[in-house]
Structure 1
């Protein structure tokens, strides 16, 4: 049997990645992280938008129920000065204007069965289901907790109006802004 010296034995080549290959992989992972991460990290904004969309549907449904009850009770042409009210499904009175809910915190809480915080000293944001700003007469701005009323993540409800002469009622408008949630 022949013996070989150590110098003549073939060296085992180690298999591995070169520096260039590692840099390419890191760059690809970086590109994926930059494009995919924001899509997965904006979950709170998506949740706020979905919550507002659900609330908008509840407002529309509740508004139509209140209007139906007002028509049955022949209160659908009463103005705000006439202090018309309808009893909601939860037993609370809903202030109505021309048969639709008034843009007030009390009216919204009565027909939606939702707790709203407002910007008064005795009520703090993040303590209720939603925040509401009714400082502009005839308009209610509803936004998720931790938001303020000038954010672009809100619902704007403008109460019903009517023309004089033969009464022509313009139903309330409900606009949703979810681009900046």
Structure 2
């Protein structure tokens, strides 16, 4: 049997990182994290803005459906009326949805709550035909909301007497999301 001397065997070199190399990699990762983190921190604001944009589209579509049903029922010039849609009865003002929580819940099929139990809060307390819709994580005065001003009408007093309806205004505010 042959025996080999340990003196004649080549030493196994172990590959690995030195402590200095590991520290340099950690420092570089830390710098990247500081630079890249602000880019990803505002994702919730972007999500809220996108959600409000989608809701604004739903409001506009629903408004047009309610207005079409009002025209079919010949109630588009009435100061107050009610139109039946699939999800319930919608109170209307000159053929468009009234600025009330009940009307919006009926034609949008969305629940609004002031106690953070729904996706959106709705404030119709102004009593002047306006309402504010905003995400739960915001307050109504933040610049992350939808403002709705219900339809108005002007009646001419000279012959021929006409009622001129101005459609509702839906304003999206996302500067503060």
5 Å-filtered alignment, 1:115-154, equals 115-118=111-114, 125-136=115-126, 137-154=128-145
For 1:129 and 1:18, the matched residues in 2 are separated by 51
Partner of 1:159: 150
Q: CA deviation at 1:63?
A: 0.4
Q: What does the per-residue CA deviation read over 1:23-72, in whole Å, with 9 as the maximum and x for residues that have no partner?
A: 7983x555533432122122211111111111001000000000000001
Q: What does the per-residue CA deviation read over 1:150-177, in whole Å, with 9 as the maximum and x for residues that have no partner?
A: 1111000110111121211111111111
The secondary structure found in structure 1 opposite 2:91 is: strand
Show structure 1 runs of 5+ residues with no match: 1-14, 119-124
Partner of 1:9: none
Q: CA deviation at 1:178?
A: 1.1
Query: What is the CA RMSD across the aligned residues, in angstroms?
Result: 2.2
For 2:117 and 2:26, the matched residues in 1 are separated by 47
Number of aligned residues? 156
Partner of 2:70: 70
For 1:130 and 1:25, the matched residues in 2 are separated by 43
TM-score (norm 1): 0.77
TM-score (norm 2): 0.79
For 1:30 and 1:153, the matched residues in 2 are separated by 33
Q: CA deviation at 1:17?
A: 7.9
Show structure 2 runs of 5+ residues with no match: 1-16, 157-161
CA distance 1:111–1:162, shift in 2 (3 Å): same
Partner of 2:54: 54
